[in-house]
Amino acid sequence: MTVGYLFLLWLSILLHEFGHCFGCRHVGGTADEVLLWPLGGLAMVSPPNNRRAQLITTAAGPAVTVMLTAVFYGATQWIPPTEKAHWVAYAAFVFNKWCAVLNLLPAYPLDGGRIFQWLLVPRLGFHRATLLATRVGKVFAVLIALVAVLHYHDYMFAFLGLWMYMQCEQQQRALAADFGGGEWGGAGRHYMDADREEPRRRSRSARRGPSIGTRVRAWWSRRRTAQRPVVDEDLRRHVDELLDKVSTSGLASLSPEERKFLQEASERFRDASEPPDDRAGS
């Protein structure tokens, strides 16, 4: 039972990650590596930098898990309870069910939280959408850790909560660095930060050979770089809207915030005239 169950567990996680990979390739992105670790899996995917591609890549994983839940549920109905296989299928069904529930919660950085983030982008823009998603993610992280320890005495899930909290914190710090702490301030700073940090990381990995940690960081950095033009798309769209307003109704029709925004955006475009340099690939 244990070996069969562990195999189905491993297969379920692998198929979930393959879901992300196929989703990513379907929208024209690259997916080269799947990492399996004690808390689950990590598909190192780099989807194209648009919202649709990000949503499809993210949603493809939970979609596979929902299908697996249905398949294992079907197996428990098909195999009589007198058979050992019935209980192995039942355990796999329960595992996938919980996996699906966790990944459909709007709990960043789990899949549901990333879907939540990208659904908010058209309304709030990338920066505010990510900030809100990570704040909600932190609440879920604390809840998951508390319920795990106090109710289930399960330290694996407590660790998952801790990991989620740290990921949210890291993403919030990255946001603050990208924008110089302000909503649209810190013109162009994020491009220079990327240029400063990457050569150091590459030389370190060149000396020791790329460890898993280095590859994950490089992938994460590529992912962040890939997401940046989306920020600029939002920014440009909003600027275009404001310029339309000026040309139809005159400069006086802008509110003080809109004027300030337009001024900051024009400074940002001037400073960030260098295109982002995505050399983090390894």
**CB neighbour list of residue 103: distance below 8 Å, 6 or more residues apart:** 61, 62, 65, 110, 111, 112
In the complex, least distance from residue 16 CB atom to Zn ion, rounded to whole angstroms: 5
In the complex, least distance from residue 61 CB atom to Zn ion, rounded to whole angstroms: 3
Q: Is 29 in the site for Zn ion (CB under 5 A)?
A: no
Size of the site for Zn ion (CB under 5 A): 2
Cβ neighbours, 10 Å, residue 241 = 11
Q: Is 61 in the site for Zn ion (CB under 5 A)?
A: yes
Stretch in the footprint of Zn ion (CB under 5 A) among 93-101, 105-113, 231-239, 246-254? 105-113
Strand, helix or coil at 278?
coil
In the complex, least distance from residue 65 CB atom to Zn ion, rounded to whole angstroms: 8
Pick the closer one to Zn ion by CB: 85 or 119.
Answer: 119
* Sign of the alpha-carbon torsion through 259, 233, 224, 122: positive
The residue type of 193 is D
Stretch in the footprint of Zn ion (CB under 5 A) among 55-63, 73-81, 186-194, 217-225? 55-63
Residue 92: how many CA atoms within 13 Å on its side-chain side? Answer: 30
Stretch in the footprint of Zn ion (CB under 5 A) among 60-68, 134-142, 154-162, 163-171? 60-68
Name the DSSP letter for residue 79: S
Q: 3-state secondary structure string, 145-209?
A: HHHHHHHHCCHHHHHHHHHHHHHHHHHHHHHHHHCCCCCCCCCCHHHHHHHHHHHHHHHHHHHHC
Of 125-144, binders to Zn ion (CB under 5 A) are none
Residue in 55, 111, 130, 261 binding Zn ion, rule: CB under 5 A: 111
CA–CA distance, 164 with 2 (Å, rounded to integer): 28
Stretch in the footprint of Zn ion (CB under 5 A) among 54-62, 140-148, 154-162, 240-248? 54-62
Pick the closer one to Zn ion by CB: 11 or 146.
Answer: 11
Pick the closer one to Zn ion by CB: 90 or 220.
Answer: 220
Check if the beta carbon of residue 172 is closer than 8 Å to that of residue 257: no
In the complex, least distance from residue 208 CB atom to Zn ion, rounded to whole angstroms: 29
Pick the closer one to Zn ion by CB: 111 or 234.
Answer: 111
Pick the closer one to Zn ion by CB: 164 or 242.
Answer: 164
Pick the closer one to Zn ion by CB: 27 or 246.
Answer: 27
Cβ neighbours, 10 Å, residue 225 = 21
In the complex, least distance from residue 99 CB atom to Zn ion, rounded to whole angstroms: 9
Q: In terms of DSSP bridges, do strands 30-37 and 40-46 run parallel, antiparallel, or are they unpaired?
A: antiparallel
Q: Is 21 in the site for Zn ion (CB under 5 A)?
A: no
In the complex, least distance from residue 278 CB atom to Zn ion, rounded to whole angstroms: 24
Could you list the residues that contact Zn ion (CB under 5 A)? 61, 111
